[in-house]
Structure 1
Amino acid sequence: MTMPEIAAKAVPEDAYLLDVRELDEWRAGHAPEAVHIPLGDLQERVGELPADQPLYVVCRVGGRSAHAAMWLNHIGREAVNVDGGMQSWAAAGRPMVSETGEPPFVA
């Protein structure tokens, strides 16, 4: 099964963006509208995700999000991996915020 992937610069503005990184990575910098569910919590929290729209899944470089997207597709959700993760997101100049009061960065 091929997993759908998309370049960070091509993620639609109104996409449901799921960030599966750890809390310290999230706090350092994330997309403003992203929803944070660490990969380790995803199976127990999958019910929090909308079932009626594609989920764009992101991590730091794309490995964890690829695992999450594969699992989500396996259980019948429509999930797309953001290729290159938040590193590509930042490099593409996409908006970022932090939870620390410091300028956002990809940890």
Structure 2
Amino acid sequence: MKLKLGKSFAVLSALAASSAAFGQDATTVVSTNPGLVAVGSALAIGLAALGGTLGQGRAADAALSGIARNPTAADKVFTPMIIALALIEFQAIMGFIIAFLWYNK
């Protein structure tokens, strides 16, 4: 019960904190503090890279443990794993592209 309450509190506090950030106009932030755009772009690239590597690690771990438990299923596991890794990599690249577009704006 305490764990669910703690997680729900964390989600609600993150939602409450993000509403103030989305309430501002983007041109106001750029014109008053261009350094914050650079910090936001750097955070976007870093979080995209971190999330991509964690996702790829978990996908590879699950695929390899599945193949280790059942070696005959290697052909059935390999193709979906490659597709999942490609989608995870695409999300990381999209984070880089969005951060690059923010920085050049």
TM-score range normalised by the length of the shorter chain: under 0.3
Q: Structure 1 length as normaliser, TM-score?
A: 0.23
Which structure has the bigger radius of gyration?
A: 2
Q: Structure 2 length as normaliser, TM-score?
A: 0.23
Higher helix share: 2
Higher strand share: 1
